[in-house]
Structure 1
Amino acid sequence: MRVLVAYLATSGGADAVAVGVRLARTLHADLDIAMVVPQDRAAHLLPSTSFDDVLVEQTEQWLAEAAEFVPADVPVSTHVVLHDSVAGGLIAEAQRLDAAALVVGGAGGGLIGGHTLGSVVNELLHSSPVPILLSPRGIRTSLRNSDGSVHGTARLAEAISVETAIATLEWHADQLITAGSSRPVQPRRLTLGSTAAKKLRTLDVPMLVIPPVDAA
């Protein structure tokens, strides 16, 4: 089994690696860390071969630095993905690796509770056939005090809204919440529904969004 982390050399990327490590440990899975290099990034600025070489070399360096933060007990591999779409490249890599989940961190964009949803994450949440695990901002700091695994607990809360129900529960950094995707246009593709969006407004723990089963 494998867990794929979509990495950026940012604090959000570090959060995603931290959550990916915990999930890999829980599932006894290998960890893969990937970055996508857009193939047409700056073809008009430099000869494409020269620029691509420089960009790939820098990306490999960032990935090597990310892998250094992975504990020795978690097998890790890094991947540079050449694709003309970041979201498309991540989905293709997750499918190639047969990853159980794709872990993403905040990268700017809209702020919802502890989660920052950039354009790439938004695109993944509306197109991925692979479960997406969203890492909230700063989760890596909280996880340092946990036992290194992700824990699940079934709990009930009575409230007049989803946001209030979630807020009444005590959440810990080593827990996550799951959300089913709303009905998509295409089978087996994620679509972030209104209930999942409401959860994000309140949560400071990772949320796993699961695509629906093919209805055909």
Structure 2
Amino acid sequence: METTRYVVGYDGTTSAQNALKMATAMARAFEAELEIVLVLREDNPYQRVYPPVGDISPVLEAQARVWLEEALAVVEGAAGDAADGAVTARTHLWRSHSVVTGLLEAIDQLGAAMIAISAGSGKGRLSVGSVADALLHSSSVPVALAPRNYRPQVPPDRIYAAVGTRPGAQQVIREAHEVADRTGLPLEVISFLTDDDGARDAAVVESVREHVGKTVRDVTETDTEVNVASGASLKKAVATVDWQPGGVLLIGSSRLAQGRQLFLGTTAARLLRHLPVPMVVVPRPGATETGSAGLLGG
């Protein structure tokens, strides 16, 4: 069976360490290996630096290698807390003209099934930084985002799938069902409703529940929990969900995404700010694709 690999974008920061711990927990649960990538930006020979500082690349490279050694220690420490053994991890010092380009190159050349990164350091649990934002609009594989200050206390023990009533929900449900089926984890499909969507109207809530339930049944015959989380705002709707400490939420890309590529939709972007669990954004399938080729590899 082909090895499943997850790329982890790493830069030595605390938030990157949290993303690495998240990726380690997911790799253990989903039987994957980690490729920890630190991108060093290459100098542009046509760009003048003022004031002149000389060649500092040896200093940067030495520091980068220290951070990568620390990353392996983070993986070893996170895996050491589990009873089911270590996670295989390798480090890569990648050179590219930008961090985003380097990570996209690593995904392609290492054959990764997913990339894990820290979301950022702004307001909210999951605030998208510039690198995360670029990947969320260009990656060809799922992007896993760790909430700010995320500390995985238990391995993944529940899969959530966030869907709406528009076309495209089947792909996310299919992806989530495959993960749940192959790992034995329970699956809960959630649709979020706010007052703007008619959350105070019981008939609207029931209509959404029936629609999502039918979509689930079109994908799988497995008995699956369906939940409509409603509230005055998206933040309050999210707060009504009984999030498990080991939960992982899957959500699809916007309909604006090209085939087998990500494009973060407005609802997903807003949802990011309020989630207490990792979010995995799944690309739209290609025009000829009918199955899943996501977190668990091909």
TM class by shorter chain equals: 0.7 to 0.9
Could you tell me which residue of structure 2 aligns to residue 157 of structure 1?
228
Q: CA deviation at 1:54?
A: 2.3
Preserved contact between residue 157 and residue 169 of structure 1 (Cα < 8 Å): no
The answer to whether structure 1 residue 100 and structure 2 residue 99 are counterparts is no
Give the partner amino acid of 1:89: G
Of 33, 39, 43, 2:36 maps to 33
After TM superposition, the structure 1 = structure 2 runs for residues 46-65 of structure 1, keeping only pairs within 5 Å, are 46=53, 50-65=55-70
Of 119, 127, 130, 2:141 maps to 130
More moved, 6-15 vs 156-165: 156-165
Could you tell me which residue of structure 2 aligns to residue 184 of structure 1?
256
**Aligned length, in residue pairs:** 208
Q: CA RMSD in A?
A: 2.1
| SS of equivalent to 1:94 | helix
Rounded Cα–Cα distance in structure 2 between residues aligned with 1:129 and 1:106? 18
Identity of aligned residues (%): 35
Q: CA deviation at 1:149?
A: 3.6
More moved, 159-168 vs 55-64: 159-168
Rounded Cα–Cα distance in structure 1 between residues aligned with 2:60 and 2:24? 26
Rounded Cα–Cα distance in structure 1 between residues aligned with 2:59 and 2:259? 39
**Shift in CA distance, 186/46, structure 1 to aligned 2, threshold 3 Å:** farther
The answer to whether structure 1 residue 197 and structure 2 residue 208 are counterparts is no
Q: Deviations over 1:9-48 (max 9, x none)?
A: 111111101100011001111111111100027974455x
Rounded Cα–Cα distance in structure 2 between residues aligned with 1:90 and 1:84? 11
Q: CA deviation at 1:150?
A: 4.8
Preserved contact between residue 144 and residue 279 of structure 2 (Cα < 8 Å): yes
Q: CA deviation at 1:210?
A: 0.7
Rounded Cα–Cα distance in structure 2 between residues aligned with 1:33 and 1:43? 31
Preserved contact between residue 127 and residue 272 of structure 2 (Cα < 8 Å): no
The answer to whether structure 1 residue 14 and structure 2 residue 17 are counterparts is yes
Q: Deviations over 1:158-199 (max 9, x none)?
A: 425654432211112311111100123543221110221232
User: What runs of 5+ residues in structure 2 fail to find an aligned partner?
Assistant: 80-85, 160-186, 189-225, 289-298
TM-score between the two structures when normalised by the length of structure 1: 0.87
Rounded Cα–Cα distance in structure 2 between residues aligned with 1:3 and 1:38? 22
Preserved contact between residue 157 and residue 168 of structure 1 (Cα < 8 Å): no
Higher Cα Rg: structure 1 or 2? 2
Could you tell me which residue of structure 1 aligns to residue 104 of structure 2?
91
| SS of equivalent to 2:8 | strand
Could you tell me which residue of structure 1 aligns to residue 163 of structure 2?
none
Q: CA deviation at 1:214?
A: 1.7
The answer to whether structure 1 residue 169 and structure 2 residue 246 are counterparts is no
**Shift in CA distance, 3/43, structure 1 to aligned 2, threshold 3 Å:** farther
Rounded Cα–Cα distance in structure 1 between residues aligned with 2:34 and 2:256? 29
Of 120, 130, 133, 1:119 maps to 130
